[in-house]
Amino acid sequence: MQHETEHYVNGAWVAPLEPRLIDVVNPSTEEAFTQIAVGGPKDVDRAVAAARAAFPAFAQTSRQDRVDLLRAILSEYQKRREDIAAALSQEMGAPLKFALERQAATGTAHLTRMIQVLQDYAFEEVQGTTLIAREPIGVVGLITPWNWPINQIVCKVAPGIAAGCTMVLKPSEVAPLNAIIWSEVMHAAGVPAGVYNMVQGEGAVVGNAMSAHPDIDMMSFTGSTRAGILVAQTAATTVKRVAQELGGKSANILLPDVDFQVAVTKGVLGMMGNSGQSCNAPTRMFVPADRQEEVKAIAKAAADSVVVGPVDDPRTTIGPVVSEVQFAKIQRLIEAGIREGAELVAGGPGRPENLNRGYFVRPTVFANVRNDMTIAREEIFGPVLSILPYRDEAHAIEMANDTVYGLAAYVQSPDIARARRVSAQMRAGNVFMNYPVGDTAAPFGGYKQSGNGREYGKWALDDFTEIKAVIGYEAA
């Protein structure tokens, strides 16, 4: 990788027009290991101009042309998967095995799915005498996060390509190296000049310039609710479409008939994967009040089994959280849980005993949590689980929905009819029944302050298209 201090614009690696560098920090060591270019409004203007110039020709390419292009991208991506995993491990602290088998694997999954979707996607249909056409929305701006970086890049770029859009990507400046490798993949795959562009930089500068840009037709943003609001406010001045995948505080309802040994253990381990840094993590576990003592013991055993350690150790379950800022936030919220009277079952403040450097967090479980406590309201984004006791099913549903977020919910019961009934009452964009295997064809996105729009599969392609009605297209 040789392009840390460059942007990718109009099919070439280019020096920034407003040269400035920032450090990239390895969260395992707390030390900077490289620097990247930080762009500014002029760099955004150059990239948007390239995307705008490329749009008319790319929008007219055939479905087969775009299928072939996505296949070429997939082929090149497979050649670089190990490089991407190594970069993710170094820049965001994912254990190397997890980075390869989970993080980098998502790129393969989304590309494969989008190729399938594009082959059968209905860009046109006739209703009576009217043609309803879906056309590429235009130039799209993509802002992606640091927690599942390559996943979010591919699940935006792939449908953009499939739709016939051109684009400018701003990846996270916290975890930027995987995006540089991705840009090398796009170049090697022969993506036409100007169709895909990448400008490195900070959200407050590059993201703001993209959101306000009059020649960007749509913004697709993944990140915090706070930042998503700023993107939407800025984009409103040019009345562009804004798709947002934002924060979450997902409920996991364990109904009384579930196998608690299995359900609690899976809930704890699933929530703490990726060091708890997943927007749809099941961070609030609702359990029957008369079973809480049993649940506490199971949850403590599960949390204590999580191995926090070096990312290159195959025994490691989770690595550090991504940055000093995140570490400090998590520590503040753990202290808030203790101060507000939640019962500390496992973990607690500080690093694990065997680690004195790096942003490592102790796997932490609180019980007897009330839904008005800070740890039940705020998105912690770390390996911290709250257990909330409920009186009955209606009480569990009421508390689960009592949040500003609505990204995901989880329901556990061997009684499928009961699980379905509870799932139907969840105010969330995704509901996971009985810890299912993930589905890249299912729409991904949230209710309320978890965002709007949907990603993955057909639903992503819908979001990157505009609808045109040609009335009188067919003779009466």
pLDDT tens-digit profile, the chain (476 residues): 689 999 999 999 999 998 899 999 999 999 999 999 999 999 999 999 999 999 999 999 999 999 999 999 999 999 999 999 999 999 999 999 999 999 999 999 999 999 999 999 999 999 999 999 999 999 999 999 999 999 999 999 999 999 999 999 999 999 999 999 999 999 999 999 999 999 999 999 999 999 999 999 999 999 999 999 999 999 999 999 999 999 999 999 999 999 999 999 999 999 999 999 999 999 999 999 999 999 999 999 999 999 999 999 999 999 999 999 999 999 999 999 999 999 999 999 999 998 999 999 999 999 999 999 999 999 999 999 999 999 999 999 999 999 999 999 999 999 999 999 999 999 999 999 999 999 999 999 999 999 999 999 999 999 999 999 999 999 86
Q: Is 245 in the active site? A: yes
Question: How far are the Cα atoms of 66, 136, 254, 457, 459 from residue 159, in angstroms, in the given order?
Answer: 10, 10, 36, 8, 9
Q: Is 173 a catalytic residue?
A: no
Which among 463, 433, 98, 19 has a CA at the least distance from the CA of 278? 98
Among candidate residues 91, 165, 279, 379, the one labeled active-site is 279
Instruction: Select which of 76, 173, 184, 245 is catalytic.
Output: 245
Say if residues 410 and 252 touch (Cβ distance below 8 Å). yes
CA 60 to CA 230: how far, in whole Å?
A: 33
Residues in the chain: 476
Q: Computed over its alpha carbons, how large is the radius of gyration of the chain?
A: 23
